[in-house]
Structure 1
Amino acid sequence: MTETSGSQPPGWDMRRTVSSRAVQGSTGTLYTRWYEVLAPYFCADEGASEALLSACRRLWGQPFTTPTFALLLHQWLLVHPGAGGADQRLKYLNVLVSGARQLFVGDAETGSAAFAPMFSFLAERVVLSPGGARLAALPETGREAVMALAASFAPYYLGPSGDYVTFLDSFPAPSAVSAGRPPPRDPGRDGGRREGVDFALDRAVEALAREVTAEPGVLAFLAALRALGGTGLLGALRTSTRIRLQAELYALTQPGGPRYASRAVNRAAFRALDALFPRGRRARRLVNAAFRVLHPGEWPWLWWDALWDGARAVRAWARLAGRAARGLWARLAARLRWRPGTGRGILCG
């Protein structure tokens, strides 16, 4: 492992990377984080997993036990249906979800991706597993908690690329998984798929409202949500979820409470609102400007926004005029034929 500074005990920093000698695991897979090496080992060795589980039970009171438990035993618990025993399996799944949530929130607060491999395993190989076999093998309460965990932080880890849209489009409906049915394939016609999209976005909005507060995480969430504009996925939402999403985005456009968002977040929230809810765009801008007038501390920013928007508008019109002029000149040049040796040109009929 890489060394930590000061008197910090080894293993305390969960974001530590493996050394160059241990980058490649025994399976030939390239790793960068220490838990990427150890989690598959514990998943394959039941005896080692049981021994680690016993050690964790004796250390439940320590603050580092829950996230360490999640990092090292998440593959073992989620892959093997009998892991942890039938009586205690739900309890261990709840501990796993709690520890993983702490880790994912830490990533979102610092703008890092130290635990992205763990999220990828949770999302791709459990929640979106082919046929939903691994998800269906979990206890019902634990299953919904695992699905909610993946849905909560998918905007952060998947970002504004098409991966988040694909994730939502493929997200299974909790009721369909509980009934043991395969997830439906048509998001536009099947109510079960609409239920899955609504569930996933509702949990993402809840995470944005309650857990993700630092600017890096909020900006990543807003960029991912903005990418949903024009995809038609918002049509799958219930009215309550749609209103909640719109209200949370609008709260992030405000200069003051309850979020006290930064200017970068204000702008990103406006862009997300305009992409997802284009109707009422001008009214929102006017209301926001009126509220800023009531905050004297926001007056410099109000003038700056006006100048910035004006400069952007002038630049856009200048580009449009330039393109029109170039197009007109190209058309005239195409019709103008130069007569060699005369210094004159003639128009082709």
Structure 2
Amino acid sequence: MQHQQGEASPRRRSSAYLNALSLEIEKRLQRKRSSLQELFADLALEIDDRAKDIILSREDLISSPEYSVNDRLCFYDVLANYYVRVPLRGKPILDLIVQVWSQSFASHTFALLFHKWLFEVELDHADVLLCYSSALVQGATNVLWIDIQSNARCFQSLFKYLLDEVALEPTRLNKIPVQAQRDLYLLLSRFIFFYNAVEKLESFLKLCPTFPNAILVGGPADIFVTEVADQLQKLKVEPVLLHYLVQIKVLGGMQLRVATSTRLKTCLYNFTSPGGPMYPTRAVRHAAWDALDLLFPASIIPFFKSK
């Protein structure tokens, strides 16, 4: 009996702590002048050791998939799990986020807190599911771009969940409407290189949802490469761009349509010359040439390379 009470006590402490956090989030969302950006920043904070001792047992911490991603455990990680275990506790927060949806960082906050809830809690209405699915893709896009812009991987656990537990798990993926599945596929395609998930690429391509315009744009590989090429042109942080140019070499040998191949080649060529429109640094120019050498060896004339 004492042993059972000893086990129950940490669980009660954890629930009380997470409940208190939820109440604080509610209060901040109810304040008219409360900053969603500040709330988002607080949710993204790493949990200190004292809070970990309250929220998680040692066994929980060791087995936590979020903690194993990059040795970080953030408040949004534990709250996302909490709202799956206790959905009613998250509902007031969800309703408040919907009310302030037009504000900056509303979609970001939704994605952090409810990305697991959407797939692991039963939702009855198809229209509600479509709305929340679209909101998740929008919010996750905004959140992951923050990592890109800062060359950090603070939100890697969010990406990892959406890739490993949703995109690669048809049972969960099929919970959301087909259009949302497509949007999620496009989103993950743009960030797989950044989060070093190329070992999952083959499985990811095999589970690509059906696209209505596939006859025009090609198959899963073409869709993926098109998204990567578009992403490359948006990258402004040199270390991130260099990382993509190294990772992109895994596309060697991939069967692509001529139009897709040409699009990728043109994109890479844009990084080989100094000046506009990309204004690449010397390191980027050399990395782009290296990628071209590997992916399109027959089309490269070495003495044309910019120094």
Q: TM-score, normalised by structure 1?
A: 0.67
* TM-fit CA distance, 1:79: 3.0
> In structure 1, what is the equivalent of residue 259 of structure 2?
240
**DSSP-derived class of the 2:116 partner:** helix
Aligned position for 2:45: 16
Contact 1:40 1:75 (C-alpha < 8 Å) held by counterparts: yes
Residues 66, 99 of structure 1: 8 Å contact kept: yes
| TM-aligned CA deviation for residue 81 of structure 1 | 5.0
Q: Which residue of 2 aligns with 1:115?
A: 155
d(CA) in 1 for partners of 2:220, 2:92? 37
Structure 2 equivalent of residue 277 of structure 1 = 296
- Which structure has more relative contact order (CA 8 Å, sep 6+)? It is 2
- Note closer, same or farther for the CA distance 1:165–1:10 as it changes in structure 2 (3 Å cut): closer
Tell me the distance in 1 between the aligned counterparts of 2:182 and 2:122: 16
Quick one: structure 1 residues 9 and 150, their matched pair in 2 at CA, closer, same or farther if it must change by over 3 Å?
closer
Aligned to 2:139: 99
Match of 1:268 among 287, 292, 301: 287
Alpha-carbon distance in structure 2 between the residues aligned to 1:220 and 1:46: 39
The residue identity in structure 2 corresponding to 1:26 is L
Query: What's the offset of the Cα at 1:165?
Result: 4.4
Of 189, 207, 210, 1:175 maps to 210
Aligned with 1:119: secondary structure?
helix
Show the counterpart of 1:315. none
Once superposed, what is the RMSD of the aligned Cα atoms?
2.6
Q: Does 1:197 align with 2:221?
A: yes
Q: For residues 239 and 280 of structure 1, do their structure 2 counterparts lie closer, same or farther at Cα, with a shift above 3 Å needed?
A: closer
Pick aligned residue for 1:39 from 68, 77, 80:
80
CA apart distance, 1:11: 5.1
My pick for the range that moved more, 239-248 or 119-128, is: 239-248
Identity over aligned residues, as a percent?
Answer: 30
Q: SS of the residue aligned with 1:12?
A: helix
Paired residues of 1:173 and 1:199 also in contact (CA < 8 A):
no
- Pairing 1:26–2:61 present: no
More helix by share: 2
Aligned residues: 256
Find the residue that maps to 1:63 and give its secondary structure.
coil
How far off its partner does 1:14 sit? 5.1
Gaps of at least 5 residues in structure 2 are 1-20, 22-34, 68-72
Runs of 5+ unmatched residues, structure 1: 2-6, 179-190, 290-301, 303-349
Cα 1:14–1:218 shift into 2, 3 Å: farther
Contact 2:248 2:291 in 1 (8 A): yes
Q: Secondary structure at the match of 2:41?
A: coil
1:226 paired with 2:249, answer: yes
Report SS of the residue matched to 2:192.
helix
Which among 200, 221, 229 is matched to residue 166 of structure 1? Answer: 200
Distance 1:203 1:119 in 2: 16
Could you list the structure 1 runs, at least 4 aligned residues long, displaced by more than 6 angstroms after superposition.
none
Contact 1:155 1:224 in 2 (8 A): yes
Asked if residue 209 in structure 1 is aligned to residue 243 in structure 2, the reply is no
